[in-house]
Chain A
Amino acid sequence: MLKMTRRNLMALASAALVSGAMAGSAQAQETIKVGVLHSLSGTMAISETTLKDVMLMLIDEQNKKGGLLGKKLEAVVVDPASNWPLFAEKARELIGQHKVSAVFGAWTSVSRKSVLPVFKELNSILFYPVQYEGEESERNVFYTGAAPNQQAIPAVDYLAKEEKVERWVLAGTDYVYPRTTNKILEAYLKSQGVKSEDILINYTPFGHADWQTIVADIKKFGSAGKKTAVVSTINGDANVPFYKELANQGVKATEIPVVAFSVGEEELAGIDTKPLVGHLAAWNYFQSVETPDNKAFIAKWKAFTKNEKRVTNDPMEAHVIGFNMWVKAVEKAGTTDPDQVIDFIVGIEVPNLTGGVSKMLPNHHITKPVLIGEIKEDGQFDTVWQTDGLVSGEAWSKYLEGSKDLIADWKDLKCGNYNTVTKKCGA
């Protein structure tokens, strides 16, 4: 008890110090700075450049509405060049040198892991907009993308119920997100009574281009008389040759559907989608969702980029939600001080683009609807199923041995990995 109060005192004191420093610098500068940490060159530029543009648009819009706390917002854009250690350096530059109030950025899990120590040490805020493998909850990070229970598990449920799938191919790129997601899915499928011989797990290197053998294997695995589906966590550039090979070998969605977690409107823009009609993707947002908010957003995006053909996608929506939450929290707190914002943002609700209201949870994840879409001929998705309400993001999976007893709660427990059995923080 005594310990707790002392710690609180310490926190208060340091918070006072930090906010004092902030106030001091605020007088010198007229703007509130927002960091944008997305790769503009290298392998990940293909996905991340768009997110930088979205942030610029959101900040521009907020300034047109009169800024925040009476000041203008100013975007500070840096390029970590798809280089994971450089992410940490650039994060340090944003927080230490440019004194940004919050950072929006990162895409791959490894880049997020690389910047975590920096955000903890310098006590700043990161909004991370991409679906990820879970098993993490940090005080300084807000996860606006989907946790596995907001994407992978509902997708598998849909296939099992609606398509009566009994045999599963889990195909992924060989790194942490697919490996963890597939571990969770395998445990989940087995808990649903699927036998080991009905699950085929396959990993391929980044940028894998020759899919002949694997697609042939999938075909073979799928012709054992039981309905088969492929759950794809294949990431980035490897998707295009994968889908091209599927089309060429005649794997049709009506026979062996492929549900992907990393293929959205942006990725499909580079493929001839006619042979892929009916293959699926699970996200929390599709451009084709018909709500007034989404229509307005798409129109603004096309006007901002001056390109009628630009598409919108799920991580973009995550940034919209994250940015609006941050703005609301800052307004409520009356300051951009990270400690205050971290406390005030939990419980904040903002409308998402699919017609619901997303809420920041104490575990720093948000509530989102889950949508399953089938690829249409024009490269868009047709929503064929969605959850009744919003699903709360779970930081720790219920289906993994090491994490099923853990919960994250930064409001009351002040802990990212509280063990409900041993009643201790830190597993």
Chain B
Amino acid sequence: MTSLRSILQAFVLLIGMASAAMAGPYEDALPKFAADSYADTEAAVSGVAGSGHPLALNVVEALRDGRLLVAAGRVYLRDVSGRLIDAATGGAVEPAAGLKPVRVNNRVRRAIEAALGGMTLLSPDAGARLEAARAVFRSRDAAALPVLEKAIAQESAVAVRDALEGARAAILLSRPDASSSERLAAIETLHIRGDQDALALLTTLPPGAPSDIAEAASKAADGIRTRLALWNAVQNVWYGLSLGSVLLLAAIGLAITFGTMGVINMAHGEMVMIGAYTTFLVQELIRTHAPGLFGASLFIALPLAFLVAGAIGILIERTVIRFLYGRPLETLLATWGLSLILQQGVRTIFGPTNREVGTPGWMSGALDVAGLSLTYNRITIVVFAFLVFSALLGVLRYTSLGLYVRAVTQNRRMAGSMGIRTSRIDALAFGLGSGVAGIAGVALSQIDNVSPNLGQGYIIDSFMVVVFGGVGNLWGTLVGAMTLGIANKLLEPYAGAVLGKILLLVAIILFIQRRPRGLFALKGRAVEA
């Protein structure tokens, strides 16, 4: 079956070859690939794309994927199955010596995009058509107009047709010879489209446009601006939510160790780091042993990170912290020392440089809803942060461990007299807090460096969130993290990242001055100190 198909393909190619005859535009353009100059390659791309030759699409795609090779002035392409084909004749050939891929730079990549846009507008694959429509929108290549019209006429998918019409509008608007009504219609299409790109097109009309068109364009642009400003505010709130979730994830483990147990744990950030390194190890193992599982690597890493960080937490509690209860200054110094030891330990084992933690396919890219652009990794982190929060809340409220932890933190001696082994609960609670920090590390490995310094960047923010939200209260941590995240992101566009952060710190200092116990202070006899 396959062989029959390939014979057929070869046959079609041969016919194409014969009809293109000897020296057509394709044959003229082809040798330019071998010149090893970006300008020549760019010229060759547009030459090949415009030739209508049956191999043209293959050649341009091969160039994009680094499969177009040259040796001794001849051009070859390696097809997907690894076969080498002579680009001039379409016949399979033996590998020649000194094959080198044709080099591309950004200029050539743009030419490839534009060329592919023109060639794949009628592709049977809707995704390819959408991509092509976007490419034509960007290149505004007037030569694509006839194909574009044809594509619009036969398009059935709404999203693709919108993109195609946008592309046509972009071409018509920038063409001085388009009729007035065509251009007004184009302006209306762009107005409905209403995004940043449409705004850019409307504000950069070619010089010499008639006044009625210029007026319509500026009116449409104003409309888009108002709409974008509104969406912009929503977008900022989203950024704030997503920053808040990162803060929540980083701080929630600390809310247990510091918040409920009262241990000033400076090594909390290192637990996050250990979680991130666990993710790295899991991914390394998956890469070498089971590449098919890569998409699930984060789910595999989650329980492992919890166990590893939790175990280290229990070890730290048993060997160091239990001797220091009630001595906050010594605890602070000891855990700070521990954090340095852990950092240097990781540096010695894994090296000082960043480790690459890959992002699974389902977490890359962005979702465009109305005027918003939501990146998938941020959506995942927001959802994940709330899941972890609810799970922890559930553990504290509905399990016996949670009951004991609450009992011990509220009144240690009374809990002890009721038969609770307080020291064991201390160790488990510390392990739980550290384990949750490890889980946070899995999520943070997706947006930050996986390096020995990972934890340092989060320790101050975590303490800030817990203290601001109110020590000893998980809900306080949630509200604290979200408030700080959103306030930060609303300030940033006006004050800049540096000043924004300073303003926020000042605000927190003032707030703590007025309410030393934070947003949600525990009331009554619960508080020992």
Q: Which residues of A contact B (CB under 8 A)?
A: 40-41, 43, 45-46, 49-50, 162-163, 174, 202-205, 207-210, 212-214, 216-217, 219-220, 223-226, 237, 240-241, 244-245, 247-250, 253-255, 257, 266-267, 269-272, 275, 278, 374, 377, 382, 384
Q: List 27 A-B contacts (CB under 8 A).
A: A40-B352, A45-B347, A45-B352, A45-B452, A49-B352, A203-B497, A204-B498, A209-B447, A210-B239, A212-B243, A213-B492, A214-B492, A223-B200, A237-B451, A237-B453, A240-B448, A241-B448, A245-B447, A248-B366, A250-B365, A250-B366, A253-B106, A270-B353, A270-B354, A272-B358, A272-B359, A384-B38
Closest-by-CB residue of A relative to B458 is: A209
Q: Is the interface of B mostly helix, strand, loop or mixed?
A: helix
Asked whether B497 lies within 8 Å of A248 as measured between CB atoms, the reply is no
Contacts A174-B498, A209-B457 hold; do A248 and B377 have CB atoms under 8 A apart? yes
**Interface membership of B235, Cβ < 8 A:** yes
Which B residues, 361 to 406, have Cβ-Cβ distances below 8 Å to chain A?
A: 364-366, 373, 375-378
Asked whether B109 lies within 8 Å of A254 as measured between CB atoms, the reply is yes
Give the residues in chain B near A237, CB-CB below 8 Å.
354, 449, 451, 453, 457
Q: Does B242 contact A (CB under 8 A)?
A: yes
Interface string of B99-116 (1 = CB under 8 A from A): 000010111011001000
Least CB separation from A385: chain B residue: B105
Instruction: Give the complex CA separation of A50 and B358 in angstroms.
Output: 24
B107 touches A162 (CB 8 A): yes
User: Would you call A212 and B242 a contact (CB within 8 A)?
Assistant: yes
CB neighbours (8 Å) of B373 from chain A are 216, 249
B236 at the interface (CB under 8 A from A): yes
Q: How far is the CA of A254 from the CA of B187 in the complex (A)?
A: 26
5 A-B pairs with least C-beta separation: A270-B354, A225-B204, A248-B375, A45-B352, A223-B196
Indicate if the CB atoms of A271 and B356 lie closer than 8 Å: yes
Chain A residues with CB under 8 Å of B452's CB are 45-46
Other than the known A162-B107, A212-B243, A247-B364, what 7 A-B pairs have Cβ atoms closer than 8 Å?
A163-B106, A202-B497, A210-B246, A223-B200, A225-B203, A244-B377, A270-B353
In whole angstroms, what is the CA distance A269 to B366 when docked? 24
Residues of chain B within 8 A of A266, CB atoms compared? 353
Q: Determine the distance from Cα of A395 to Cα of B497 in the docked complex, in whole angstroms.
A: 31
- Please state if A210 and B203 are interface contacts (CB–CB under 8 Å): no
In the complex, number of A-B residue pairs with CB atoms less than 8 Å apart: 142
Q: With A241-B449, A270-B355 as known contacts, state yes or no: A225 contacts B201, CB within 8 Å.
A: yes
Point out the residues of chain A lying under 8 angstroms from B103, CB to CB: 382
Is B450 interfacial (CB-CB < 8 Å)?
Answer: yes
Query: Interface size class for chain B?
Result: 35 or more
Expressed in whole angstroms, the Cα–Cα distance for A205 and B378 within the complex equals: 21
Q: Is the CB of B344 within 8 A of A41?
A: yes
- Looking at the assembled complex, report how far the CB atom of A1 sits from the nearest CB atom of chain B, in whole angstroms: 52
Residue from the set A45, A210, A249, A271 with the largest chain B CB neighbour count within 10 Å: A210
Choice from B106, B378, B497 contacting A278 with Cβ under 8 Å: B106
A253-B109 Cα distance, complex, nearest whole Å: 9
B200 with A225: CB separation less than 8 A? yes
Decide: A46 and B200 in contact? CB cutoff 8 A. no
Contact of A241 among B38, B447, B488, B492 (CB under 8 A): B447
Q: How far is the CA of A208 from the CA of B377 in the complex (A)?
A: 18
- Determine how close the nearest CB of chain A comes to the CB of B311; give it in whole angstroms: 25
Tell me whether B356 and A269 are in contact (CB under 8 A): yes
B197 at the interface (CB under 8 A from A): yes
Residue of B66, B351, B354 with most chain A CB atoms under a 10 A cut-off: B354
Does residue B501 face the partner (Cβ distance < 8 Å to A)?
Answer: yes
Q: A49-B352, A241-B447 are in contact. Are A278 and B109 (CB under 8 A)?
A: yes
Given contacts A212-B239, A249-B373, contact A46 B354 (CB under 8 A): yes
Give CA–CA (A296, B457) in the complex, Å: 39
Nearest B residue to A162 via CB reads B107
Do the beta carbons of A46 and B353 come within 8 Å of each other?
A: yes
| Nearest CB of chain A from residue B160's CB, rounded to whole Å | 18
A50 to B190, CA, bound (A): 53
List chain A residues, Cβ under 8 A from B223: none
Inter-subunit contact A223/B366 (CB<8 Å): no
In the complex, what distance in Å separates the CA atom of A242 from the CA atom of B364? 15
Whether B449 pairs with A269 at a CB distance below 8 angstroms is no
A216 touches B235 (CB 8 A): yes
- Which of A49, A202, A374 is close to B106, meaning CB atoms less than 8 Å apart? A374
Contact across chains for A213 and B493 when beta carbons are under 8 A apart: yes
Distance between Cα atoms of A198 and B448 in the complex (Å) = 30
- Bound CA–CA A307/B166 (angstroms): 52
Within 8 A of A (CB), among B339-355: 343-344, 347, 351-355
B66 smallest CB distance to A (angstroms)? 8
Q: With the chains together, A267 CA to B199 CA distance in Å?
A: 36
Q: A46-B353, A208-B497, A278-B106 are in contact. Are A41 and B347 (CB under 8 A)?
A: yes
| Chain A residues positioned under 8 Å from B378 (CB to CB) | 212, 248
**Residues on B with beta carbons closer than 8 Å to the beta carbon of A225:** 200-201, 203-204
If A41-B347, A269-B356, A272-B356 touch, whether A248 touches B376 (CB-CB below 8 Å) is yes
Q: Taking the nearest CB of chain B, how far is it from the CB of A164, in angstroms?
A: 9
Flag whether B496 is at the interface (Cβ < 8 A): yes
Q: Does B489 contact A (CB under 8 A)?
A: yes
**Does B138 lie at the interface of the complex (its beta carbon under 8 Å from any beta carbon of A)?**
yes
A40 vs B201: C-alpha distance when bound (angstroms): 52
Minimum distance in angstroms from B526 CB to a CB of chain A: 35
C-alpha gap A43/B352 in the complex (Å): 9
Is B199 a contact partner of A223 (Cβ separation < 8 A)?
yes
Task: Report chain B residues within 8 Å CB of A163.
Answer: 106-107
In the complex the two chains form, what is the Cα distance from A253 to B66 in whole Å?
A: 17
A249 to chain B, nearest CB (A): 6
Specify which chain B residues have a CB less than 8 angstroms from the CB of A213 in the assembled complex: 236, 239, 489, 492-493, 497
Q: Which residue of A is nearest B204, CB measured?
A: A225
The answer on a CB contact under 8 Å between A278 and B105 is: yes
**Across-interface contacts of B109 in A (CB, < 8 A):** 253-254, 278
User: B354 CB to closest chain A CB, in angstroms?
Assistant: 2
